Structures are given as C-alpha cells and as structure tokens.
Amino acid sequence: MDMMQVANELVAGCREGREQENLSRLYADDAVSVEAADMGNGRETKGIEGIRGKHEWFASQYEEVSSDVSDPMPHGDDRFAVIFDMQMKNRETGEMEPMKDIGIYTVKDGKIVREEFFYPVG
C-alpha cells in the first residue's frame, strides 16, 4: 500500500471500530508509538505488541460514547495527520471526558513505523 492507502484504511478502521484488526494490517512489527504525556509506562512504546497493549489498556479504562475522525491530511509522501475528537466515559468513575488529539503517522514500505499523539496535558 502507498501512504494514502494506509492513511485511508487507518481512518476507515477507526470510524468502523476495526482498530485492533488494523494494528496487524497497517503497522510494522517494530513500530513506535509516542504519547504527549507519560501515562505511567513512559511516553514511548516500541513494537506492535506494545502498541496492541496500549490499545487494550485504553479500552479497559474508557468506553467510547462518540467520536469524529477527520480525513487524513498528507504531509509529503511519508506522513499524514488525523484529528480525533471523542467523547469518552471513564469506566471507573462513570464521568464523561471529552478528548481531542492529533495523530501524526509516518509510513515506510507500506506500513506505519511511527505514530505521535498531540493533546492537551496537565
């Protein structure tokens, strides 16, 4: 897949609830994921299994109530950005939490090799 095919599939998967399936299809085995803030395990996660674990942890903490995922915005032929605007319910407290972040993805050889998330912290 070229970068835009990867980008479009990532967005479609997020909109259709296929994020876990897309991890295996779209990410390189040695992909790196970087958060804006340390959630208790450092900001950087290396490897597809670590990224899969991040997704599982997030799903255990939050229930998605609604979400809006932008179309991918390309930057050259190896990077794209996506804006995520979500309403999440904290599973422990029941509180609704709005979450908005920007994901920047780097693609090499048809796979995502790096993702970086930008969002308000503190």
Cβ count near 3 (within 10 Å): 21
Q: How far apart are CA 73 and CA 59, in angstroms?
A: 26
Domain positions in the chain: 3-118
Distances (CA, A) of 48 to 11, 31, 32: 18, 6, 8
Quick one: average pLDDT of 75-93? 97
pLDDT in tens, 26-55: 999 999 999 999 878 889 999 999 999 999
Q: How far apart are CA 74 and CA 45, in angstroms?
A: 24
CATH of 3-118, one of 3.40.605.10, 2.40.10.120, 3.10.450.50, 3.40.220.10: 3.10.450.50
Per the CB < 8 A criterion, the answer to whether 18 and 42 are in contact is no
Q: What phi, psi does 9 have (nearest 5°)?
A: -70, -40
Of the candidates 26, 31, 8, 30, the one whose C-alpha atom is nearest the C-alpha of residue 115 is 31
- Out of 7-16, 28-37, 54-63, least confident range: 54-63
Q: Rounded to two decimals, what is the model's pTM? A: 0.94
